[in-house]
């Protein structure tokens, strides 16, 4: 009987992993929360939408089309399980829910291609209706064919800031301003590393050209002050301090925020994988070898879920993880191909280091947040409350702070607040970020329908 290999995620890494498994003669099971393939970066529009690839994906149109076409060609040779949440992992089995149907699927090998989510730093007023992550703004455009507002400000830093802004412009939306916390000199200094992948650098320059031609104001080196608004009317404007020290106010009814990306690691955590603190990323990531093998013998982690290096790198990493799984199953793998993939991935790793230098994570903002700034939007936990549990209760570790304050206990399970919350704790406790640790993953990784429990009880009783 052929080995069962499950791939979680149908983005760039997952599609390429499944493709490699099929080429080796295996019928992979591919599970994705989305209705269609593509992941976040190449998210496919609903079947009855007719927007062109160029309008949807801009400079990434060709790669998006190729990935979609290749996945379509795989459909008859894999078991695709869409609109399905993997909410827990146990040794050699995943727990999934589709609608109100729950089941357990066993595996011999598991390749986790969970992708990445926005890395966010709170801003006073970001709890108002109309404040989204950059990824959320992108989902609205790709999946619903709408903008998040009639006059939108994009604020933060990183390639996604310019990608989403240009996609909105191409879709005909009004982008009131792009407000970037990084500076031009930081980009200039990062240029030697960015030249590791000239084609990707060229795409980034093209995105900025789209904004320039559209007349979108772009301000670099800004410091966010507040997102102004009211509970009744939501976002009404943004205030920032410009690089020259002056104040800029931009009227808008929506804001998209984000500082590059962070690996989506909860499933790797539930699978029991070891983690390590990456000093360059200032993030906790799964410990994997160069081919994606984790500390758990049957589990592999690939793409942005292991380390954020972009969609092109994710495709290479997905193939490498599949090759590692095949080799561990005793199946033939082309050693020269594997070595070539490793070489390509190393260039993307160098480029990613350039992006971190060009668009740095603004850790300093956490210490400067006013006490009344909400850090955890799900539970309405403020920066002042986090500082209180540090000073009054000695909660200098993430999970201890969670127990005392409820930070990270809400619907998003820390996806929005964990990184910034840890920065607030580290700054107040005067300890390295690594010492704060990370929030432990718990099942379910996302909320489950209440009807699920009653269905399980009924099935058990029968």
3-class secondary structure per residue, 85-137: EEEEEECCEEEEEECCEEEEEECCEEEECCCEEECCCCCCCCCCCCEEEHHHH
Q: Do residues 157 and 64 both lie within one domain?
A: no
> Residue 252: pLDDT band by 50, 70, 90 thresholds?
very high
**343 lies in some domain:** no
Q: Is residue 462 pLDDT above 50, yes or no? A: no
| Structural domain boundaries, residue 277 | 5-117+262-331
In a shared domain, residues 36 and 110: yes
| Residue where a domain terminates, one of 203, 227, 252 | 252
Residue 449 reports pLDDT greater than 90: no
pLDDT of 458 reads: 44
CA distance 412 to 445: 8
CA 164 centroid distance within chain: 14
> Which tokens sit at 5?
């290999």
User: Residue 248 — φ and ψ, nearest 5°?
Assistant: -120, 130
pTM (predicted TM-score): 0.92
Does residue 449 lie within any of the structural domains?
Answer: no
Quote the number of domains for the chain: 3
Residue 408 in any domain: the answer is: yes
**What confidence score (pLDDT) does residue 161 get?**
96
Signed CA dihedral, 103, 104, 107, 109: sign only: positive
Residue 418 lies in a domain: yes
Same domain flag for 130 and 37? no
Torsion region of 77: left, alpha or beta (phi above 0 gives left; psi -120 to 50 gives alpha): alpha
234-249: per-residue pLDDT in tens? 999 999 999 999 999 9
pLDDT at 111 over 70: yes
Q: What is the pLDDT of residues 313-364, one digit of tens each?
A: 999 999 999 999 999 999 999 999 999 999 999 999 999 999 999 999 999 9
φ, ψ for residue 172 (rounded to 5)? 90, 10
Tokens 């954020």 belong to 308
Rounded to an integer, the average pLDDT of 150-154 is 98
Instruction: Categorize the per-residue pLDDT at 274 as very low, low, confident or very high, splitting at 50, 70 and 90.
Output: very high
**pLDDT top residue among 2 and 77:** 77
Same domain, residue pair 142 and 248 = yes
Q: How far is CA 206 from CA 60, 159, 202, 354, in A?
A: 11, 12, 6, 18
Question: Which of helix, strand or coil describes residue 247?
Answer: strand
Tell me, yes or no, whether 23 and 92 share the same domain: yes
Q: What is the DSSP string of 140-168?
A: HHHHSS--S-SSEEEEEESHHHHHHHHHH
Which CATH number is 153's domain given? 3.50.50.60
Summarised one tens digit per residue, pLDDT across range 15-37 is: 999 999 999 999 999 999 999 99
| CA 456 from centre of chain | 32
376 in Cβ contact with 410 (< 8 Å): yes
């Amino acid at each position: 009987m052929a080995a069962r290999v499950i791939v979680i995620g149908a983005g760039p890494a997952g599609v390429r992993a499944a493709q490699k498994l099929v080429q080796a003669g295996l019928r992979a099971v591919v599970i994705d929360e989305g209705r269609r393939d593509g992941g976040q970066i190449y998210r496919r529009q609903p079947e009855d939408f007719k927007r062109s690839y160029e309008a949807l994906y801009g400079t990434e149109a060709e790669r998006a089309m190729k990935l979609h076409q290749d996945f379509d060609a795989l459909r008859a040779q894999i078991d695709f399980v869409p609109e399905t949440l993997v909410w827990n992992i146990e040794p050699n089995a995943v727990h999934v829910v589709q609608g109100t149907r729950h089941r357990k699927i066993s595996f011999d090998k598991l390749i986790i291609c969970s992708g990445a989510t926005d890395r966010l730093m709170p801003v006073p007023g970001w709890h108002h209706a109309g404040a989204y992550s950059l990824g959320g703004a992108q989902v609205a455009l790709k999946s619903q064919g709408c903008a998040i507002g009639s006059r939108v400000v994009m604020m933060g830093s990183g390639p996604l800031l310019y990608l989403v802004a240009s996609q909105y412009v191409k879709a005909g939306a009004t982008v009131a301003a792009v407000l970037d916390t990084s500076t031009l000199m930081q980009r200039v200094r990062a240029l030697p590393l960015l030249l590791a992948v000239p084609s990707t650098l060229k795409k980034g320059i093209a995105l900025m050209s789209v904004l320039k031609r559209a007349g979108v104001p772009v301000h670099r080196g800004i410091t966010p002050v507040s997102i102004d608004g009211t509970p009744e009317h939501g976002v009404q404007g943004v205030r920032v301090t410009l690089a020259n020290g002056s104040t800029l106010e931009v009227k808008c009814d929506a804001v998209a925020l984000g500082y590059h990306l962070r690996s989506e690691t909860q499933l790797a955590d539930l699978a029991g994988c070891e983690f390590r603190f990456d000093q360059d990323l200032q993030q906790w990531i799964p410990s994997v070898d160069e081919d994606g093998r984790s500390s758990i013998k049957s589990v592999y982690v690939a793409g942005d879920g292991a380390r954020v290096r972009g969609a092109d790198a994710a495709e290479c990493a997905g193939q490498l993880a599949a090759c590692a799984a095949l080799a561990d199953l005793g199946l033939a793998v082309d050693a020269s191909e594997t070595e070539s993939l490793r070489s390509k991935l190393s260039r993307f790793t160098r480029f990613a280091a350039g992006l971190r230098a060009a668009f740095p994570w603004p850790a300093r903002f956490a210490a400067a947040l006013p006490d009344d700034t909400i850090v955890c939007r799900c539970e309405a936990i403020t920066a002042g409350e986090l500082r209180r549990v540090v000073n009054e209760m000695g909660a200098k570790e993430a999970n201890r702070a969670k127990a005392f304050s409820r930070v990270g206990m809400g619907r998003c399970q820390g996806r929005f607040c964990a990184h910034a919350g840890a920065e607030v704790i580290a700054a107040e406790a005067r300890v390295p970020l690594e010492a704060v640790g990370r929030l432990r993953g718990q099942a379910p990784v996302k909320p489950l329908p209440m009807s699920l429990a009653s269905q399980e009880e009924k099935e058990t009783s029968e």
